[in-house]
Amino acid sequence: MPKPTFFRLPDEKRQRLVTAAYAEFTRAPFAEASISNIIKDAGIPRGSFYQYFEDKSDVFFYLLDRMRQSTKTWMKDTIDAQAGDFYAAIAEVFDHVINDLVDGPYAPFYRNVFMYMDFHSASKMSPVHPPKPPQGKGELVGYLVAHVDRSRLLLQSDEDLQLLIRMVMGLFMQTLGYYYNRLSQGEQIPITELKRRLAQELEWLQHGTVKKEEQHD
């Protein structure tokens, strides 16, 4: 994450650096992105960059963490607005996130991330300083466990609810993987189809796929 000096920068200078970083990681995959291009676009000396970030991976994961923070805020606000209704909140947030990833102002950046990044092969991205994903991944899960209305669900234990949350998040990531895989093959999937696919998967998870037997008098 950025060093404290980054957050003490004037808003205009901090935003200029962030914009330059987005532009560079949109232009090229992580392995090919250049700090030189970032500082050139931001109009700062190289030495200043290292006063704000440890290395290239540090600024890269900061950009990803901005999305994680936004998603966390949306989820907290939505689960409260939906009175703890887990599936209603998940559907609303996923709809919002898909809009942001596919059509939002940073969509080209996220497209580059999902199409070219392999976070399990850190050595390929930075042999000297492998990038470290942001911390606090369990914070949102903990919030959901505490605020989901369990009277709407068949499961009751924290462990079962945590498993459900991770299953749902897995469905979302698989849907994104499907979208970006098709995109890499030159096939443009309409955002409506992407949402339909995810909604169907959530429907199956929520209500099951086994046909209920008809009751006869």
- Cα separations in angstroms, 60 against 127, 149, 161, 165, 183: 15, 36, 32, 26, 22
CATH (residue range 9-53): 1.10.10.60
Q: What pLDDT tens digit does each residue of the chain (217 aa) get?
A: 899 999 999 999 999 999 999 999 999 988 899 999 999 999 999 999 999 999 999 999 999 889 888 888 999 999 999 999 999 999 999 999 999 999 999 999 999 888 876 544 333 333 233 344 444 457 888 999 999 999 999 987 999 999 999 999 999 999 999 999 999 899 999 999 999 999 999 999 999 999 877 655 5
Residue 129 DSSP code: S
- Cα separations in angstroms, 123 against 21, 69, 132, 164, 206: 21, 26, 11, 32, 39
Residue spans of the domains in the chain: they are 9-53, 65-207
State pTM to two decimals: 0.80
